[in-house]
Amino acid sequence: MALNWFRFAAPASFYPIAGRLVPVFWVLTAVLLLVGLYWGFFETPDRLGGSNPQKEYYRIIFIHVPAAWMSMWLYVVMVGWAAIGLVFNTRLSFMMANAVAPTGAIFTFLALWTGSFWGRPSWGTYWDWDPRLTTELILFFMYIGYIALHSAIDDTRRADRAAALLAIVGLVMVPLIFWSINCPDPSQCAALHQRSNLTQIEGNILFAMLMVALAFWMYSFATTLMRLRSIILTREAENTWVRDLVSKGGRP
């Protein structure tokens, strides 16, 4: 490969690239979200399930399920960047992990919020100690912990590394926590949340869900890159390329 990937790993060269990508991702977000929501509202069946069908309110899964997916995926992405940063000592990877965290926390919150709205008509309560919902709450605490630890440490290098280590420990613990909540009695496991299998979902519902999930991915890219750009500017404020940028009025 003639391309030198490490060139893009330098914040100075990544900054303008990120700037050009942000609008593209915003447009993709809008288009995919429109398609997904249209499909979800008008092209899917009115009710879900057999003997005890869920009525119109089930449509909240078009937000709830993709948000829950994203909350988990983004945690993995965050840990991935954090681990790369710890191993290769690259500043941009830490910034990336740092930029992903708030988006992940937002999706976790969204999943919890929509989950409780859906729980009201379906379970008759806003909150139940359902294993998945509880684990989602723990995941939210993990994101908050990461952000809190990072912002409590003044020295950015220590903050990056300490938060990265915490995220990795969290990734190891999350499955264990889920499992312990799911099976409080080790000899038998029960779950309030119905088991789902992607192949059993009706085609139109699956399509709408996947479209929204893709839209959420694009949204994550867009917000992460925007946040990354501002992190780069703050951290590299002393470097000449940032000063040049400022004196030119912000145009790269």
Partner 1 sequence: MLRVFWCILLRDLTLAMRRRTDVLTTLFFFVIVVSLFPLGVGTERKILQMLGPGVVWVAALLASMLALERLFAADYEDGTLEQMVLTAQPLSLLVLAKITAHWLLTGLPLVLIAPLVGMQYHLTSDAILVMMMALLIGTPVLSLIGAIGAALTLGLRGGGILLSLLILPLYIPVLVYGAGAVEVSSVDLADIRPYLTLLGAFLLVAVLFAPLASSAALKISLE
Partner 2 sequence: MRFTTEDVRLPMLEVAGLECRRGDRLLFAGLDFTVSGGTLLHVRGANGSGKTTLLRALCGLFSPDSGEIRWNGASIRSLGEDYRRDLLYFGHSNGIKGDLTGIENLRVAATLDGDPVDESAIWSALARIGLAGFEDLPTRMLSQGQKKRVALARLLLSGAPFWVLDEPFTALDTAAVELLEELIAGHVAGGGLVVLTTHQEVGLTSGQVERLLLGS
Contacted entry of partner 1, partner 2, none for residue 156, CB cut-off 5 to 8 Å set by kind = partner 2
Q: Using alpha carbons, list the distances in angstroms from residue 210 to 65, 195, 214, 218, 231.
A: 10, 18, 6, 12, 31
**Which of partner 2, partner 1, none has residue 126 at its interface (CB below 5 to 8 Å by kind)?**
none
Interface pick for partner 2 out of 13, 89, 151, 230 (rule CB under 8 A)? 89
C-alpha torsion 232→99→63→71, nearest 10: 160
Residue with tokens 């470097």: 239
CB 16 within 8 A of CB 242: no
Residue 176: contacted member of partner 2, partner 1, none (CB under 5 to 8 Å, by partner type)? partner 1
Q: Which of 128, 140, 167, 123 is nearest to 68 (CA)?
A: 140
Among 176, 190, 194, 197, binds partner 1 (CB under 8 A): 176
156 binds partner 2 (CB under 8 A): yes
Using CB under 8 A, pick the residue from 44, 67, 107, 236 that binds partner 2. Answer: 236
Write out the two tokens for 153.
Answer: 């440490």
Q: Does 46 bind partner 1 (CB under 8 A)?
A: no
Q: What distance in Å separates the CA atoms of residue 51 and residue 60, rounded to the nearest whole number?
A: 20
Instruction: By CB under 8 A, name the one of 20, 55, 120, 157 that touches partner 2.
Output: 157
Q: Of the listed pieces 69-77, 106-114, 145-153, 226-234, which binds partner 1 according to CB under 8 A?
A: 145-153
